[in-house]
Structure 1
Amino acid sequence: MLFTRPTDEVLYDALVARDPAYDGFAYVCVTSTRIFCRLSCPARKPKPENCIFQDNVAACLEAGYRPCKRCRPLLKYKDQDPTVSALLDALEKEPARRWREDDLKAAGYDLSTVRRAFKRQFGMSFLEMARLRRIGQAAELLSEGGRVIDAQLDAGFESGSGFRAAINALIGEAPAGLRGKTLLKADWIETPLGPMMAIVDDHALHLLEFADRPALPNEIRRLKETSRMAIASGRTAVTEMLAAALDRYFSGENSGFDVRIAGHGTAFERDVWAALQAIPAGETTSYSELAGRIGRHSAVRAVARANGANRIAILIPCHRVLGADGSLTGYGGGLWRKRWLIEHERRMAGSRETSATR
């Protein structure tokens, strides 16, 4: 599982080489244009720092990216289902249209056939794909300070209540509440251990978790509640700084992080998290030792709960805590990742010691 996914460097090399072997295996989302492409796209290549690689079309659309008009990543090169081709052409001509089942019936399509064809190729229905295109455009307009009614009409919603419900589902807040309001920005960062979700503002990191962590949806919900801020797809300078720091970390060049972390949690939790950050890379501790570090020797269970409440993976290194007997204990990102991180940091520490003695 660890080595099945190519690194961003490998995927970027494939993008520059226009390697058709990666078509359908990965897609590149370009942050500067908000467009996603095949890796074999003939268009001018973006800078590495402007590239986010996704496994499938659904992930690209859900992140708010539009399909490239040159390489047309929604279409297969061969044996394209004529129903899929025709509907994708229609969607490309009218991306803001609010498609309904009645529209498909009126055009002579069988609903179950359309649903199966799109699910098989994209993992989502045609109506779901059309909805993501509309909402992504509307959310972008709102975040730029546009009027609610303009965004509503651009998204193709005749009903104001229907539009508000759709935006609520995407970013958790009514459109009127977005006007003039700073949003938290969420985006994916690819790592050798799988994609991580990073949620930031213009100044600090609020959440960093592996995408397949079971508790991630609840953590996002709690973040919305505690911060009282909406979350939209996007990146800030903090995201770029974090991505660069993680790249150095995973390459073994640097185990330190200079990314500012937002001040969430109780005073006790922040004490525990600060103690975690004070553990040198390459070393581990136990819950009881961690409790001793903050002068709360009898609060071992509370320390364990605070450790589990941490939602900044790697930077606040809860993976460095082991059981009293030295065994691996629970880790939200999976025990295999915990073992990998500990071994990786031990190698980094060993490499630094070797270099220092030369």
Structure 2
Amino acid sequence: MLQTKLVDSALKAWTIEQRRHFHMHPELSGQEFETAAYVKEKLAEFGIPVDSRFSEPNVIAYFKGTEGKKTVALRADMDALPLYEEGDKPYISTVPGVMHGCGHDGHTAILLAVAKWMSSHPDQVKNNIVFIFQSSEEASPSGAQQLVKEGVLDEVDVIYGIHLMSRLPLGKIGFASGFAMASSDDFDITIEGVGGHGGQPQDAVDPIYIATHLIQAFQSVVSRNLHPLHAGVISFGGMQAGNSYNVIPSEVKLQGTIRAMTFEAAELMNKKTAQLTESICASFGANGHYEFIEGTPPLYNHPEACEYALKVIQDIFGEEAFEPMEPSMGAEDFSYYLKEKTGAFINVGMQSEKSKYPHHHPLFDIDEDAIPTAIELMIQLALNGE
């Protein structure tokens, strides 16, 4: 647990209370209307106005700085996951089949705490601040993508986001500079063959056999088309075919995901998988239909924002607090903001006995001792916003 300069025990206790409220009342992506109403109620108590121009259930609020030469955006995601929570914590989810299994309840409470602190110390906030309480990080369509389209960043100079991270030790803050997280796109494939008798395959066009060639060929995109230093992953997650021992089905459906660490790699992998689907299926006399489902782009942490964040971390928490992180093939829709504006996405460590389970696990929980660090970090990043 790191020492904080601006966050006292009272603000920590208040934030934990808010976080537990959100944890007990989770809402799925695009359905966070009660969460949004609660956030608006708190912002009204702080005297911070909400901008009604943006789509609900997103909540966008503005804090006018004393100088207003720069505008800094801070973002928290609000959605929960379709999981049945396990365990016996006193603040366990009250909504069957829905839980905050990724820490978004903490992120929302932390950003509210930042707003509360700023409303109590307005003379210390020189920059204009945009508070982004975002819907739908966990599902498509992305809430970040929608807000960017609606112009949430039009007047913003720099944007920061944080993520409480269970695989980073408590008392550490870390990030990767440059490309830090992968894109995440999906695909659906339908192979239309000709069904027939399992003992007479010469009279059929076997889509299962064709599917095996397609699955193998897709891996050549990574090993033979992608630049060896540009990370990429293609994984098949589903295959639906026939249901009889001796009947060759007429159709096979495949589904999978494409992950890439650069914009160029993501575009190449989409193009090549579509080409392979059509050409391989045609070579066997079948029809191949490829549907690309756009997800999130790679997340690029701007070096200048990372340099500033590193200085803040070391100045406030000490040089030992920062832990460099390797890029991850996980995805995060904060990447849409970073495609448009300078900024960084930063991980706040919380790995401990309480938070030993990974994100998206039914027993996942936050070590609340990490919360003051996250509040302090967001405040300090916003005060100068370089």
User: Does TM-score exceed 0.5, indicating one fold?
Assistant: no
Taking structure 1 as the reference length, the TM-score comes to 0.23
Using CA pairs below 8 Å that are at least 6 residues apart, which structure has the higher relative contact order? Answer: 2
Higher strand share: 2
